[in-house]
Amino acid sequence: MQLQLKAVLTAAPNGVQLRHRTERFTSRSTCLVFAVGNVLARRISAAGVAGMTHARNPKIAPRSIYDLPSALAREVELDEHLRGKELAVFLDYDGTLTYIAERPALASLSKNMRAIIASLAKRCTVTVVSGRDREDVEDLVGLDNVIYAGNHGFDIAAPNNVAVRREEGMEFTERLARVASDLQKELAGFKGVLIETKKASVAVHYRQVTAETRKEVPLVVARTLEQHPELRLTHGKMVCEIQPKVDWDKGRTVLFLLEALGLDTPDVIPIYVGDDITDEDAFRALKGRGIGVFVGNDSEDGFDERKTSADYIIGDPSEVGRLLERLAR
C-alpha cells in the first residue's frame, strides 16, 4: 500500500513531470513519447524499480579490482557485444570525466571531453550521474542534449524534449543545512575541511586536511550524525557524503531512467562508467543486464582493497575519453 501511494505521489506534478510531446532526442535513440496517461503504465515508480532491482541483482559477490579486464584491452570483445544494439550511457562526473581536483570547484571539464560527450549524445542517450547538485553538474558539463542526475540521482532532469523529472529527499534540505552548520562547528579545528551543502546531501571534503589528522574527520562526522538517525553516511574518495536515509541511490536512478525513457528492452545495453563507492550501486543494478566500467588505478589510496561489481576497469579520465570516443562511432 505504501509503495502504491508512493507511485501516485511520484507521478504528481512535483514529482515526475510529463508533457504530451513526441520528439527525437538523438539520431539513434528511441523516439520518446511521454504522456501523463502512460506514467503509471510504464510503472515509473519506486515499486517497479524495486522489482527490477531484485530481478536483476542476484547476489553476485563483488570482486577484486585486479580481477577486472581492461575495457580498452578488450575493445574488440566490447565492440562485438555492442554490435547492433542501442546504447544508454551513464557517466559519473568527478574522477570519471575529470581528474579529481583539490577542491570540487576546480574540476572543470576539458573541451575535448565535452566534445566527445556531445558527439556520443548524438548517437545515444547519455546521462551524467553525480553527487554534485544537478545545477552545478549541468553548468560544468554545459551540454543541453544530456540528462542530468544530481545529488546521487536524487534530482533528475532531462532536456526539454525529454520530459522526465524526478526529485527524492528534497524535504530534507533544511535538516541537511542544519547538519552542515553543526559540522562546521564540530570540524572547525580541522584546517582544510570543505563542507558543501547541497539540496539533498551534504559533502564533507577532507582532501586538504593534513595527513596526520585526516583520519579523524570521518569519525567526527559519524559522531555528529548519531543525533540524526534519519540521515545516512557514505564514504567516497576523501569525502563523507550525508544523505537522507531513503531507498534511493545511483542504481535506482539508472533503473528508473531506463524504464522512464523506454530503454528497458533487450535491444538496449546500458553502460555505466564511474570511479566512486556510490557508483557501486549502479554497477550492482546493471549486473547481468548492462556493462559496468570502473575507473581507477593503483596510484589512488585504497585501490588495493577496493571490491567492485563492475565488469571492466579503465585507468583514468583520459582513457574514459578514449572509450567514449569509440562508443560514439
Contacts to Mg ion by CB under 5 A: 92, 94-95, 275-276
**Residue from 316, 266, 308 nearest 290 by CA:** 266
**Residue from 283, 301, 132 nearest 215 by CA:** 301
> Distance of alpha carbon 96 from its chain centroid, rounded?
11
| Cβ 58 vs Cβ 288: under 8 Å | yes
Nearest approach in angstroms of CB 65 to Mg ion is 15
181/184 Cα distance (integer angstroms): 5
- Tell whether the torsion through CA atoms of 298, 303, 305 and 307 is positive or negative: negative
Dig out the grid coordinates for 248 from the structure: 534511493
Burial class (CB in 10 A: 0-12, 13-18, 19+), 231: buried
| Cβ 298 vs Cβ 66: under 8 Å | no
Nearest approach in angstroms of CB 10 to Mg ion is 27
Nearer to Mg ion, 94 or 241 (CB): 94
238/123 Cα distance (integer angstroms): 35
Residue where the block lists cell 575535448? 112
Nearest approach in angstroms of CB 175 to Mg ion is 25
Compute the radius of gyration of the chain from its Cα atoms: 19
Nearest approach in angstroms of CB 295 to Mg ion is 8
Nearest approach in angstroms of CB 91 to Mg ion is 10
Nearer to Mg ion, 25 or 272 (CB): 272
92 has catalytic annotation:
yes
> Distance of alpha carbon 168 from its chain centroid, rounded?
14
Helix, coil or strand: residue 91: strand
266 phi, psi to nearest 5 deg? -65, -20
**Residue from 298, 304, 306 nearest 279 by CA:** 306
Nearest approach in angstroms of CB 75 to Mg ion is 23
163/49 Cα distance (integer angstroms): 19
Residue where the block lists cell 568527478? 94
300/246 Cα distance (integer angstroms): 30
Q: Which of 67, 92, 144, 316 is catalytic?
A: 92
Nearest approach in angstroms of CB 130 to Mg ion is 7
The residues annotated as belonging to the active site are: 92
